[in-house]
Structure formats: C-alpha cells, structure tokens
Amino acid sequence: MKKILRPAWAEIDLDAIAYNTRNIKKLIGDKDLIAVVKANCYGHGVIDIIPTLLENGVSRFAVAMISEALEIRDNKITAPVMILGFTPLYLGEELINNNIEQTVYDLDYAKELSKIALTLNKKAKIHIAIDTGMGRIGFLPNEKSIDNITEICSLEGIEVIGIFTHFSTSDEKDKEYSHEQFTKMLSVMDTLKKRGIDIPLKHVANSGAIIDLPDTYLDAVRAGIILYGYYPSDEIDKNNLALKPALTLKATITNVKTLEKDMYVSYGRTFKTSNETIVATIPVGYADGYLRKLAENGKVIIKGEFAPIIGRICMDQFMIDVTNIPDVKIGDEVILLGEKNGLKYNADDMAKKLDTINYEVTCMLKSRLPRVYIKDTHIINVKNHI
C-alpha cells in the first residue's frame, strides 16, 4: 500500500458512492444511468471511483472535455463516454479512434467530423444538444435547427447516439421553467419523429430532475453531484432520495504551542490573543483550495469538538485555537470538511460560508491533497500528487 505523502488528505468513502448510486438506480428503475464524472468526479477522483459506479448500476459516463475522456480510456475503461462540451476538430481522430461520443450543436461541425470519420473508415458517435432555455450550447428549438439536425442524421460518417437538453432550474422549488424546457424538448423530438428520425437515447434529467421530476427521465438520466452524496440545493425534496457524502477532508496537527496574551497569529496581525492561548497548526492552506475566506468564523472538528480558526489562512498552513480542548498534541487528527459523531461541517456548510454551492467546494480541493480510498473501513488505494 502506498504511503500518504503529506499529513493532509481527502478521504473518499467508496461505500457511500455505492450507496448513493444504488439509491439513484432504484429511483430511476430501468432507465440508463449516466454518471457525470467531469472535473475528476467533482474532486473525488475519477479512475478510483468508476469501478464502484459500474458495479452499482451506472452504464454510461459523461465528461466535460476530451482530456477527461482520454484519461478514462487510458485506464482501460471501455464503457460509453460522452463529452458534454466542445472538442476542437483537430482532435476528431482522437475522438473517433477512442470510441468517444461527442456533443454536437452545429451543422458545419458535424459535416467536418463526418469527413474525418470517413477517412478512418469509421463513424463518429454523437449526441445532439438542444438549448431549451439554458442559453449555453445547443440547437435552439426552431425549424432551422430541425432542418440542420435532420441533415446531421443523414451524414454518412455520423452515428447519432443520443439527444439531450439541460435544465437550468430543476433544483429550484418552482418547477414551471423546467416544465417549459421539457415541453420544448418533447416538441423537438416529436417533430423529428414526424420526419422519420427517432434518436435512440434521449436524456434530459439532471440531479435536480432525478429527485423531483420523474416524468422527465426518458431513456436515461444524468446524475452528477448526487453520486457524491450532496443534494443540488436545499429546495428539492430530500425525502425522495437518501444520500451519504463520500468525501472527508482530514489533516493531522503539526505543531502545538502556548502563546501569551497580546500575541499575534498569522499574516497581517488580524488576530491577537486576549488571554494565554493554545494554538495548533494544520498543514493545509489556500493552495489546497482551502480558501482564505474560510478563516472568517471558520472551524474544524478535533476530538469531538469544534475548534475555531484564528488568523489568516496561509498558502500551506493555518492555525486553530485549542485552548478549551484537552490534551491536543502533534499527530492528532482533524476534520476540515466532513462530519463525525454528530458534528458536521461539510460541503454544504462551507458553501454557505463562501456564498457558493457545494459543487464548487468539492471541485476546488486541489490534486496536491492525496486522495485516500476507503472500502469496508479499509484503505484500498492512495493517490498522491507526484
């Protein structure tokens, strides 16, 4: 077993990933489950998590860019992988030769991709994106787009695998706009069907819709944040799906000292001791994605209690006040993000503090934090950044 190369790490509970995946699969029934594993599985570690996803009901994967898809292929994973974003045409051969499915939303792009495929005596596999109200990528739901999609489906070097759209507000309590988007998508599919085009894999439901909008499941759903144990917002009905957060950010104390009254802690002298204070140092900082803003009334869990962050967070270290926590010593374990014995300070809590979303919190944890993978309470792999 590899050693953890620093006294700070992100612990990934593969049993929690399995639990979440099984519960999602139970909810969607016989629909295909597409796991969104972009951004290194939202910071959790794609290559070590994919086997667990496959074992528990995932049949397809979605990523944001070709580099992420190639990482999957380079690790001998043969399950279907689609790219949700743009891939430059100069990488068309890599797409086709590695059996990667590309999102398409432009006729000229599709024509060029078809030409590349024909030179390889292969077909380029694609998913057609429809913009029903996100204002991002995708064909707009109008007659011109229908004509373009019809032409794309006739291209000799193209195999159309799927068609999809993306909800912008499915995680909000008010579902009216999501229903409007879905209605537009159904209209596009119906118009195509009248032209004799029935694309096999239709998928629109994201994490919010998986929980709250079962009528939108179609042939497949795309699960993202819920795979990793977090809800997309506080406005969805959490009773519909039980989840367990998979990631815990941990570190060990590297220094303990007693400071006298009226001494300063960290850069800028923003914290001054009002009494004799026991200060412990934690070897994590903003270079790890543990942002300076977290110092404002921030806290960690140590020995079953909360300890406040004091002073500014440095690039690689920060300090906590452990005056009221007995017998803190070098080597004691600290939870920076997670929960234990009823105490919780997880990605939801951190997101509220940073005025952002839990997605960003897990994604911002840098690769220089080792990932430690746990199954059945045992470490099964350590991924160091070297």
Q: Are 212 and 193 in contact (CB under 8 A)?
A: no
Q: Which of 144, 193, 238, 267 is catalytic?
A: 267
Of the candidates 168, 237, 238, 151, the one whose C-alpha atom is nearest the C-alpha of residue 206 is 168
Answer yes or no: 267 catalytic.
Answer: yes
Residue 177 near residue 208, CB atoms below 8 Å: no
Take residue 380 and report the two structure tokens written for it: 């099964």
Apex CA 295: angle with CA 293 and CA 301, to 5°? 125
Known binding-site positions: 136, 315
Could you say which of 25, 31, 38, 175 is catalytic?
38
Is 359 part of the annotated catalytic residue set?
no
Q: What is the distance between the alpha carbons of residues 58 and 159, in angstroms, rounded to a whole number?
A: 22
Whether 200 and 32 have beta carbons less than 8 Å apart is answered as: no
Binding-site residues from annotation for substrate: 136, 315
**Which residues touch 236 (CB under 8 Å, ≥6 apart)?**
171, 173, 208, 211, 212
CB–CB of 275/261 below 8 Å?
yes
Task: Round to whole Å and give the CA distance between 309 and 271.
Answer: 10
Question: Rounded to an integer, what distance in angstroms lies between the CA atom of residue 312 and that of residue 315?
Answer: 10
Which residues are catalytically annotated?
Answer: 38, 267
